[in-house]
Amino acid sequence: MFQVVTGAAGFIGSCMVNKLNNKGQTNIIVVDDFSNPFKNRNLEHKAIAGKVHRNEFFDWMKDHHSQVEAVYHMGARTDTTEFNKDIFNELNLNYSKKVWEICTDASIPLVYASSAATYGLGEYGYRDDHEIVEKLKPLNPYGESKNDFDKWVLKQEKHPPFWAGVKFFNVYGPNEYHKARMASVVFHAFNQVRDTGMVKLFRSHKEGFEDGMQLRDFVYVKDVVNVLYFLMHTTPESGLYNLGTGNARAFLHLAESVFSAMDKPVNIQYIDTPLDIRDKYQYFTQADMDKLITKAWYSTPFYTLEDGVIEYVREFLVSNRNF
């Protein structure tokens, strides 16, 4: 039986393939567009059963759905600076609807990537409560596309035998080399320290927050794929699940961890938050992890920010190594 991973050449998708390999699973079908040689590095040395272009995936599924055991749908356009809604409607919303429908018709369990971007400025908190999904106000078309799919899913009367929409918070870790400006703050901080000996952070423009003390829920990609595998193989109650650590940390602490991992003295320069994003800039995000931990009984400890950054920097970034 096949395990299918969409977006498999991407950041989280390729780490998911690695996780499956580490669990002894090699009968994996990887789905992506495979047009970026730099991105395809993420799949080198991984054991897979075949590659399917994303445009040919649904035809492939028609012929092979009886052989598919599980689908991890990680494929999406993730550029938060892209404002062409048609792109998101095609690649995030409508494509995901087709994945859902074919998994429903063929009774295939589905775990898909949602996003904490659905929460917007956090007006309704950061709870993975189905009751607030219709009220959420994402800040960009990317977040809107993810929330639009979540809303559509919750209205469906027919569904896969198990499904989970996983709201990723600020994920960092190996295999994000291709993401350019959309890569994690850890990745950019490492490059800044290596090239200039300093890190630039946004100055605070909000009363009650000191410079560098803007807070995010940073989660290591190894924890992310551990949770995705756990959900697929324990099949708790279907629904939306937050995936962060439940512990917001400051950008300053992240930067200090990068300096420490590189054995460099802390050298931080604060710059003004650009005016075009200043009014939408989030000063706090933190995943409410109650559903995953107390209802789905996920008990594996998460990496601390310090431990995750040290491992990422020393084992991957310094040697430009893939996971």
Amino acid letter for position 196: T
DSSP structure class, residue 75: -
CA-only gyration radius of the chain, Å: 19
Distance CA 202, CA 190 (A): 16
State the residue for tokens 């990723």: 168
The count of other CB atoms within 10 Å of the CB of residue 49 is 14
DSSP 3-state of 233: helix
Tell me the residue ranges of DSSP E strands in the chain. Answer: 2-6, 28-32, 50-53, 68-73, 110-115, 163-168, 170-172, 199-202, 215-216, 218-220, 239-243, 249-250, 268-271
C-beta of residue 167 within 8 angstroms of C-beta of residue 117: no
C-beta of residue 248 within 8 angstroms of C-beta of residue 215: yes
CA geometry: angle 234, 239, 241, nearest 5 deg: 80
Query: Exposed, middle or buried: residue 1 (CB in 10 Å: 0-12, 13-18, 19+)?
Result: exposed
Which residue in the list 51, 97, 137, 179 is annotated as catalytic? 179
C-beta of residue 48 within 8 angstroms of C-beta of residue 29: yes
List C-alpha distances in Å: 265 to 202, 262, 307: 19, 9, 18
Catalytic residue at 142? yes
Which residue in the list 142, 177, 220, 312 is annotated as catalytic? 142
Catalytic residue at 179? yes
C-beta of residue 178 within 8 angstroms of C-beta of residue 39: yes
State the residue for tokens 């209205």: 155
Q: Please list the active-site residues.
A: 142, 179
